[in-house]
Amino acid sequence: MSSPEVGAGSTCPACHGETIRLVRSGAFGRSDLVRCRTCRTEFLVPQPSDDRLSEIYGADYYEPWTVEDGRIVDVMKQLTFQPLLDACRIEAGAALLDLGCATGAFLAEAAQRGAQTYGIDLNPVAIAQAQQRVPEARLHAGRTDDQPFRGVDFDAVVMIDFLEHVRDPEAELAIVRERMRPGARLVISTPCVDSVLRDLMQRNWPQYREEHLTYFSRRGITQLLQQCGLRVESMGPTRKALTLAYAHGQMKAYPVPVVGLTVAVTYRLLPMLRHRPVRFRLGEMTVVARS
């Protein structure tokens, strides 16, 4: 049986399509998961309230990272970030902005390559930790539309696990586009709703979280970037480095049927592999666009 159309007034945040189908009623509290019939992008209607998102993004939001030894987490992130940094094609002295910079792991890698580093994150605790990690970085606890770092234009902008959290992705990208130098690169890593893993796992896809407001399709994000004056240069799957211990902690924080049980059993049976980073495809895509 086909899914019913949702009420008038809902438009796709990627392509502006107005024919929206219900995927899952009450996916997260009052929020339904819906799909654009034009580009297949999925999103939450209505979005969680500011109070609810503030509750989710509390001081302990990054606590699941701590289940793994900090040195191993650094190795995991280095393995994940290297291809993304390569995509930025930064040279020494280039200005790089990390949106959703968290505790500064990506900025630290960029600084080692000689970049002038800038970061924005809503979480002031994470920003404080990022400042300790990268003392020379210029950081802002808040939002992009606060317009920090006035007078600075960027050679590269990265959005890793960021755009899916934004209430208005087009407005966010429009602000970013204004701050990019001619020829600058925008590197995005975000869940891909038409990935093989999403199609296989359906509602058990681990990317389905209440704070993820939009799940872009490849067609949808391409149209969105074009609408913002950005040209897609390349698109492919993101590979993230994880350990069993880290995945086990994530499944405790964000339970997923079947997946959580599989990870828990593997964690118990293979202790020698708990802390070995391995690259996985988790149904995310890396998109590189040019100004």
Helices (H) and strands (E) in the chain, counts: 9, 11
CATH topology of domain 20-290: Rossmann fold (3.40.50)
- Give the residue carrying structure tokens 């199609």: 199
Q: In 3D, which of 165, 182, 183, 103 has the Cα closest to residue 137?
A: 103
Supply the pLDDT for residue 1.
38
Quote the Cα angle for 172-280-67, to 5°: 85
Whether this model's pTM surpasses 0.85: yes
Which residues, given as ranges, of the chain have pLDDT below 50?
1-3, 7
Supply the pLDDT for residue 105.
93
Supply the pLDDT for residue 46.
96
How far apart (Å, rounded) are the C-alpha atoms in residues 145 and 99? Answer: 12
DSSP 176-192: HHHTEEEEEEEEEEEEB
Supply the pLDDT for residue 64.
66
Supply the pLDDT for residue 2.
43
3-state SS track over 38-90: CCCCEEEECCCCHHHHHHHCCCCCCHHHHHCCHHHHHHHHHHHHHHHHHHHCC
Per the omega criterion (within 30 degrees of 0), is the bond before 46 cis? yes
Angle of helix 70-88 relative to helix 105-112, nearest 10 degrees? 60
